[in-house]
Each structure stands twice: as structure tokens, then as C-alpha cells.
């Protein structure tokens, strides 16, 4: 049974969607609903549903602003709104579907099918990541295994100079000037890297400690073997110096 959360500032809209879900699907149930976005944020930062039905226009926090305040959401997002001009923005925020109010029962059925596929992919991806984490912990510490574009890559840690965050993506910069883009947040990449070789020097960067050419103390950045300048976050400077 899929678990859903609804966030909409209009009580009637919440009740209507709950009624639609209860009457047109036995594969999904509403575990919680909120008309106050702040209460919903608190709940979602400690609970993980399979999907979130989210209104766009709310008086205190807009729907897209709401998504930006979530801590690493790992569930399907469905935008619900009475206005159709938000479709492209919904896709940019990785929403899997977009439902116009009043919500049509056929549209809801198609949406639930998408949620099921998303949930199955998430479960399979999580299983694979656990397998890779276990594999990396037992494998030669000089190599890591990553999953990208439907294939497994075995990388020597000496080939990685640094990793840069770009929201939900991370880019590995390699010794041969090639790049590998992963659909992972930086902290997920950090979890599979051997800490003896790598250090998260900034919210947006992880560096290979063996690839540092110089540390410019006064200006607060390092120069890597590739000549890229990487900033050192002030709160990470003392830990960084201990690693050197």
C-alpha cells in the first residue's frame, strides 16, 4: 500500500482529494494531510511517504518554495493546482505529475500508476546502492564503484581530483580532464568515498587530498593538480588542516 501526504491550504481541496483517493484506488492511502505548510515541513522532515500531493499557491509558503525547504525528499511529488501555467516549473522541480483542480478521476488513476513506477524504481535503486556500499567497503580501498547511466563504473580513487555539487547532481572531475555526472547529491557521493583519501572541504565540494597542489591560507582556497581553485569553508578549515 502506497502512503501519501497532502498539503493544501484549502480544507475543501484536501477533503476532495482524500475522497477521490479513497474512492478510486485501493493501492494508496493518505497517511497525513495538512493545511499549514510549516506543520507539513516538520512532519515530512521526519517521515517518508511514497508521494506528496502539493498545492502550488499557498499564502505563507508557495509550493515550489516548500519543496526547496525539504531535507533530501525521497518521494514522488505531484503538483496540484487550479492553474495550468506551472507545468514547466513543476517538471524543473522533479515533480512526476501535475494535476489540475478539480482533479479528474482518470487523471488521478494515471498519476497513481506513475507513483507506483517511481516507488518501484526507488526501491530497486536503494537495493543497488546498499549493495554498492557493502561492495565498496570490502573492495580495494583504492577503487570505488558507482552506478551511472545504467552501468557500473570501477574508478581508481587516484583518477578523481574533486567532486562538485549541482543541486541533485554531482560532477566528478577526473585526472584525464573527463567529467562524470551522477544523479546523486554530494552527501550521497561522500558516503561511498574512502575518507582517508577524500574530504568535504565545502558544502559544494569534495576534494582528493592527494591531488592538492597548494593551500592559499590568506585567501582560503586550495589549488588542485588540475589548477582548479576550490574554496575552503571557514567552519571546515580546522578539520581540513588536521587532514593534511
What residue spans define the domains of the chain?
Answer: 2-129, 139-243
**Superfamily of domain 2-129 in the CATH hierarchy:** Response regulator (3.40.50.2300)
pLDDT at 233: 93
Give the separation between CA 201 and CA 216, rounded to whole angstroms: 14
Would the pLDDT of 161 be above 90? yes
**Model-wide pTM > 0.75:** no
Give the whole-number percent of the chain exceeding pLDDT 90. 39
- Of the options 3.20.20.540, 3.30.420.40, 2.40.50.1020, 3.90.25.10, the CATH number for the domain spanning 139-243: 2.40.50.1020
Which residues, in sequence order, are CB contacts of 49 under 8 Å at separation 6+?
3, 4, 5, 31, 32, 75
Place 86 in a pLDDT band, splitting at 50, 70 and 90: low
Cell digits of residue 44: 515530512
The C-alpha atoms of residue 185 and residue 237 are separated, in whole angstroms, by 22
Question: What's residue 27's pLDDT?
Answer: 86
> In this predicted structure, what is the pLDDT of residue 133?
54
* H helices present in the chain, as ranges: 11-24, 37-44, 63-68, 87-92, 105-138, 186-192, 237-243
Span 132-141, pLDDT tens digits? 555 555 544 5
Cis geometry, peptide bond prior to residue 42 (ω within 30 degrees of 0): no
Residue 223 pLDDT exceeds 50: yes
Three-state SS at 32:
strand
- Cα 182 to chain centroid distance, Å, stands at 11
Mean pLDDT of the chain: 84
Residue 30 CB neighbour total at 10 angstroms: 16
Amino acid at each position: 500500500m502506497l502512503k501519501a501526504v497532502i498539503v493544501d491550504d484549502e480544507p475543501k481541496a484536501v477533503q476532495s482529494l482524500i475522497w477521490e483517493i479513497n474512492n478510486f484506488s485501493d493501492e494508496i492511502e493518505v497517511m497525513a494531510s495538512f493545511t499549514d505548510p510549516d506543520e507539513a515541513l516538520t512532519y515530512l522532515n521526519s517521515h517518508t511517504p511514497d508521494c506528496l500531493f502539493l498545492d502550488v499557491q499557498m499564502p505563507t509558503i508557495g509550493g515550489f518554495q516548500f519543496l526547496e525547504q525539504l531535507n533530501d525528499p525521497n518521494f514522488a511529488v505531484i503538483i496540484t493546482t487550479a492553474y495550468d501555467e506551472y507545468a514547466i516549473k513543476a517538471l524543473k522541480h522533479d515533480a512526476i505529475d501535475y494535476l489540475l483542480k478539480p482533479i479528474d478521476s482518470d487523471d488521478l488513476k494515471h498519476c497513481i500508476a506513475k507513483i507506483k513506477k517511481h516507488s518501484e524504481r526507488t526501491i530497486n535503486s536503494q537495493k543497488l546502492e546498499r549493495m554498492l556500499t557493502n561492495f565498496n567497503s570490502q573492495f580495494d580501498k583504492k577503487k570505488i564503484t558507482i552506478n551511472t547511466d545504467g552501468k557500473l563504473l570501477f574508478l581508481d580513487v587516484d583518477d578523481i581530483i574533486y567532486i562538485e555539487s549541482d543541486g541533485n547532481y554531482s560532477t566528478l572531475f577526473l585526472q584525464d580532464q573527463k567529467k562524470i555526472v551522477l544523479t546523486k547529491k554530494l552527501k550521497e557521493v561522500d558516503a561511498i568515498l574512502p575518507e582517508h583519501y577524500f574530504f568535504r572541504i565545502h558544502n559544494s565540494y569534495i576534494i582528493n587530498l592527494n591531488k592538492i597542489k597548494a593551500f592559499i591560507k590568506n585567501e582560503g582556497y586550495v589549488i588542485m593538480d588540475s589548477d582548479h581553485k576550490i574554496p575552503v569553508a571557514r567552519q571546515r578549515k580546522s578539520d581540513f588542516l588536521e587532514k593534511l
